[in-house]
Amino acid sequence: VPGRHGYAAEFSPYLPGRLACAAAQHYGIAGCGTLLILDQNESGLRLFRSFDWNDGLFDVTWSENNEHVLVTCSGDGSLQLWDTAKATGPLQVYKEHTQEVYSVDWSQTRGEQLVVSGSWDQTVKLWDPTVGKSLCTFRGHESVIYSTIWSPHIPGCFASASGDQTLRIWDVKSTGVKIVVPAHQAEILSCDWCKYNENLLVTGAVDCSLRGWDLRNVRQPVFELLGHTYAIRRVKFSPFHASVLASCSYDFTVRFWNFSKPDPLLETVEHHTEFTCGLDLSLQSPTQVADCAWDETIKIYDPACLTMPA
Amino acid sequence: MEQPGGRSCSGPSPAPEDAAPASVSLAQLLQLVQQGRELPGVEKRHITATHGEPTSSRLPRRPKPWEAAGSARAPAPP
């Protein structure tokens, strides 16, 4: 997509082959943003619809209760609610953060429809998309927040990763943090929860390492994965394999790991020519991966390591 | 965006220039910003919310792969 630098990609939880990509003009430094809705068919990726926003878009999350709805977040400090079935949008804009919002996530546990946002203003905010004002603001981080992710198992529980070098665990029932993990001696750009172990998370940091953390004992990591040669921009646990995860980096690669193996690096994919920022693993296909990068491309592929039996 | 120069790019600037003619390289952009000059082709928008209602959902929620596995609280991997 010429002139747009991809920041985030997310597969739809409803529609196989549908992918949303949040992008910014000029690497996100200035200019507008675009939300791209793509559909995959036999001949490749087709643009279903795109929506522009006034500032760069840095993250995207699909609704868990409506296949048409998604939320993005922007350099102007606001969140946007979009409807893919409408030609223009957004439906709603939520403006409270005072600096860039780098992360949004829609809750995955049933019975609640909540969105969490993480900002460079050092706060996390909780939103009900049907309400115009945030429900709650969480303070504690001492630097920019790069990632905020709901637990897939524990309702109301989410994690945040920050430039203050900590991973923090929160519960919506109180504004004070539950657990602070000094996970790295560098900024932490990404975190994710294991889908098969409710106590396990992974962090990815500027020190080029991935570390696994068991919330029952956070004094030392339960694994460390080395191999990337520049900062890790995003990490995601596999929806299908308990010990498999994927990471993308400023070293332009995407790497796949199985932390239960003595030699955990499964595969390195080098198909981008710029910082790779967006990464997602399909919820419908155990082998499919999407990524996007500042080389203005979005790719969907099936890496060899996932197509082979575990 | 309040401070174009304030973004912390947590990693080195890419060395190779972007080949596509429609794009400006990151290094060139940062130079323009530092010089206080206008960035080429910055597309300004004035988009606002429509305040419409979302299109009704017709699809049932799909279980996640880890939910379909039966136990949502699987033991820690070996």
Examine the pLDDT at B42 and tell me if it is beyond 70: no
Closest CA to B9 of B23, B26, B22: B26
Which of B7, B54, B65 lies closest to A283 in CB terms? B65
pLDDT confidence of B23, banded at 50, 70, 90? low
Residue of A7, A15, A25, A27 to mutate when probing chain B, most B C-beta within 10 A: A27
Domain parsing of chain A, residue ranges: 4-307
Rounded distance, CA A285 to CA A210, Å? 25
Cis geometry, peptide bond prior to residue A90 (ω within 30 degrees of 0): yes
Least Cα separation, residue A14 to chain B (angstroms): 7
Yes or no, beta carbons of A197 and B51 under 8 Å apart? no
pLDDT at A89: 81
Residue of B nearest to A131 (CA): B51
Pick the residue with more confidence: A292 or B13?
A292
- pTM of the predicted protein model: 0.87
Instruction: Evaluate whether ipTM surpasses 0.90.
Output: no
Q: A189 to chain B: which residues are within 8 Å by CB?
A: 10
pLDDT confidence of B74, banded at 50, 70, 90? very low
Examine the pLDDT at B8 and tell me if it is beyond 50: no
- The per-residue DSSP string of A233-280 comes to EEEEE-SS-TTEEEEEETTS-EEEEETTSSS-EEEEE---SS-EEEEE
pLDDT at A310: 53
| CATH 3.40.50.300 matches A4-307 | no
pLDDT at B18: 35
Closest CA to A13 of A113, A140, A126: A113
The DSSP bridge partners found for residue A24 are: A5, A33
Which of B42, B45, B57 lies closest to A52 in CB terms? B45
Pick the residue with more confidence: A9 or B14?
A9
pLDDT confidence of B43, banded at 50, 70, 90? low
Examine the pLDDT at B7 and tell me if it is beyond 50: no
- The per-residue DSSP string of A21-62 comes to EEEEEGGGTSS-EEEEEEEEETTEEEEEEEEEESS-EEEEEE
Q: A90 to chain B: which residues are within 8 Å by CB?
A: 47, 49-50
Q: B20 to chain A: which residues are within 8 Å by CB?
A: 2, 296
Rounded distance, CA A35 to CA A268, Å? 28
Count other Cβ atoms within 10 Å, centred on residue A117.
27
pLDDT at A260: 96
Radius of gyration of chain A from its Cα atoms, rounded to whole angstroms: 18
What's the pLDDT tens digit per position in A94-144? 999 999 999 999 997 767 899 999 999 999 999 999 999 999 999 999 999
Q: B68 to chain A: which residues are within 8 Å by CB?
A: none
Tell the residue number behind the tokens 């206080």, with chain if given: B36
pLDDT lower than 70: segments of chain A: 1, 27-28, 30, 110, 309-310
